[in-house]
Structure 1
Amino acid sequence: MTQSKEVRWVRIGEFIVVSDETNKLNLDLPVMGLNKDKQMMPTVANLDGVNLSKYKVVGNGTFVFSGMQTGRDVCIRIVLATNPDPVLVSPAYTTFVLNPEKGLIPEYFFLWFDRNESDRYGWFISDSSVRSNLDWPRFLDIKIPVPYKDGEPDVERQREVVAVWQGLRRLKEENEALATPLLELCQAKMDELKHTAPMVTLGQYIEQTNIPNYSYGLSKELVMGMTITKEVIPTKAKIKDTDISKFKVVFPEEFIYNPRTHGAKIGLGMNDFNDPFLISWNNTSFKIMDKNEFNPTFLYIWFCRPEWDREACFRSWGSSTEVFAWKEFVTMKVPKPSIEVQRAIVDIYHCARQAKQIVEEASQQLKTICPALMQHIIHSDDVR
């Protein structure tokens, strides 16, 4: 018998069952809120004296919906709960599940709303005011594409699409879980070194480079800046008509820092690229004189510690603009364990950075994969 496959635009209200289960037993459960990224998070509301018996109980597989929006929001606030244990949400939210007999998978349903396109449509059909609202009846009238086979929702095709999305999401979550403890371990090891390794004066091991660009002629596309989070990024300054011959060339594993402090932070970075770049003439560039004494990345990790920033700001001088001068920079103390210990800590750091990079890439891909998967469904068969 020939199987009939198609994609139908169906009204979501046909699949939804409201499940407003309240906390009648006054269970001591965590209270959660929704954010615009379609995730649940611990509530920021003051719950002192609040009667939680009217709050709603949310278990795994339940949807939480809020039609309220602010003028800045262009989103439908909806979450698919994946928490293993029940939590509470505000009675202002609507909670619902999908009728299991209707053949629509919760994760597939959520995929449709985890898209910028759905958010824009939800904002478009919301009531217009200072705080717009997507009414529940209007929400129920939204239509989504569902694959059908022989007149019934095609569960297998839904699962195929969901599996792709879940695989990428799982990759992101696993590396998030890996990156954080590795970074914590790295910083814990640095803390230990304050008590187990000799503390030496930094100036014995570093020297300024400050090599002008007129000897190299690097292009303006290679002009970089640094952030207070110790990252090197393309400059945001307007340099179209700027003479960059006096800009400084920074080679791989060399450092840069801005003597001007920014609140409680010092702008600093390291060239961890394979090629040189340029920095503005008013920044300082320096390098380690002997890499058998100090590993550049080990020193960079030390510079990233909040304690380093606090001491550097304490040593800064000025009034409206404070300056952390080079003569103060070189008097700072740093731990100097064996080069083998330094490299071992750097290896942990690189593992954490790789995991963090995977998380960032997966996050970007998740933003595009939901629309792509839905477009695949929409255009795979005849749409009715």
Structure 2
Amino acid sequence: MGRIALFGLFGSGNLGNDGSLKAMVEFLAERCPSAQLVCICRETEAVGRAFGIAAVELRRKPSVGVARLIDRALLKVPGKLCDFMRAVRVIRRADVMIVPGTGILDDFGEKPLGMPFDILKWCLAARLAGTRIAFVSVGAGPIRNRWSRWLMVAAAGMADYRSFRDRASVEFMQRIGAHKPGDRLYPDLAFRLAVPQGRAPPREGAPVVGVGVMAYRGWYGYRKTGEDVFARYIDKMTRFVSALMQRGHMVRLLIGDEEDLIAVEALQAAVSALPMAARTDRMTVEMAHSLDEVMVQIGKVDIVVATRFHNVVCALKLARPTISIGYASKNDLLMAQMGLADYCQHIDDFDPDRLVTQVCRLHTDRERIARVIAARTAEYAASLKRQEAHLLATLLSSDAGGPGS
């Protein structure tokens, strides 16, 4: 295998996305050490620093001066055409383009001419260049905008290999008529990541609760209603966190995206404004720049309450009793597979008082729950090993063909 391109929204501050990339890079480094890796992403410098691989920009730099005026006058068609031709030139040098994990086939926070268009552009370029395409353990759906759905379905339809990280993704593709007979089901790639060494010693008294916060503004956060959604979310999280501290719990705030620091600051300010402000020293937060660092922080808590999917994954990898406040069915399905279906709420209508009750129930049954989680995450890791063997025998084999063969 000569050259492998990795495609996705990497380096932009989303720790879950970067964790999926890390899992794939580590696999390829172990099993295809001679392959040249190049990442197609938005933040090329960040990816280069973090992973030590070459990176090219997802989109060409915008035109300037007279060229920009001409491009805008022609409805940006010349610029889009030049960008597509650049994509063909880049991807034709690769044997295979892999989309490693992430919820690449949903439109959370995306407009049609954002990632949905970029996915189609690069998949079409790969198809025309004769470069094979693989969607590996990706998430799919929901895609609420009809144009985004058309773009993403067309892109996914060009893939030579597709595996999905959960049954909900497979069923979504079936429901919209985009299922393929060869589609496979394998866990999220982050379950491949190693757990950092070292665990916090057992603690006496009330458990420490890790609370994952998110800069949540609704499915399409760029809409005018986004700030109202965010305010309601912070208000309820404030009630939840303050109730925990009043019960004697230490609270450690967790993030899953650098943007979530906005929510951390808003929550800290709201808690400080409460009459119990003198007790805010029971709430701590540390910056995290990777899923490894998130797992290190989760290793210091007893129970996790999280929204972002990969925060939930990290908690489960450490066999921590977990509550999900999810914004999509991916959280609920994963939790159900871990025996935690009764510990899910939806972010748009979660009940802070019920969350406190769920924390108490989890703590009471924590030892049994931890054993169940550990057994099932081990099964997930073994399943990912089987997918890797399949990829090596087919898509990544030296005789599989491709431009670089």
Q: Please give the range of the TM-score, normalised by the shorter of the 2 chains.
A: under 0.3
Q: Computing the radius of gyration over CA atoms, which structure comes out larger, 1 or 2?
A: 1
Greater helix content:
2
* TM-score using structure 1 length: 0.25
Greater strand content:
1
* TM-score using structure 2 length: 0.24
